[in-house]
Amino acid sequence: IGVGLVGFGLFFLLFGILLYFDSVLLAFGNLLFLSGLVFIIGFRRTFTFFFQRPKLKGTSFFFGGLIVVLMRWPILGMLLEAYGFISLFR
């Protein structure tokens, strides 16, 4: 289930970008991606991954970008999410 949710999340993110940053598709893709991640590695490990002390800057940018996308500012939100994603996974 988790791999399917992550796959659909990435598909919706890509499709939302291809359709000139459609905010509904991007928000749906983000929510599917995060829920799939929870299904794959579990709630506790997901929580501890995102809220480690050295990763708080990346986490705040990632979730801030998610909130901005949900407020229908997709380009700015995706830029914030991209920076947070790079900060989290480097």
Count other Cβ atoms within 10 Å, centred on residue 84. 22
Q: pLDDT for 51-74, tens place per residue?
A: 999 999 999 999 999 999 999 999
Query: Percent of the chain scored above 70 by pLDDT?
Result: 100
Closest CA to 84 of 45, 37, 50, 53: 50
pTM value is 0.89
Q: Does residue 89 have a pLDDT over 90?
A: no
Q: What is the mean pLDDT of residues 2-18?
A: 96
pLDDT, the chain, mean: 95
> What's the average model confidence in pLDDT over 19-40?
94
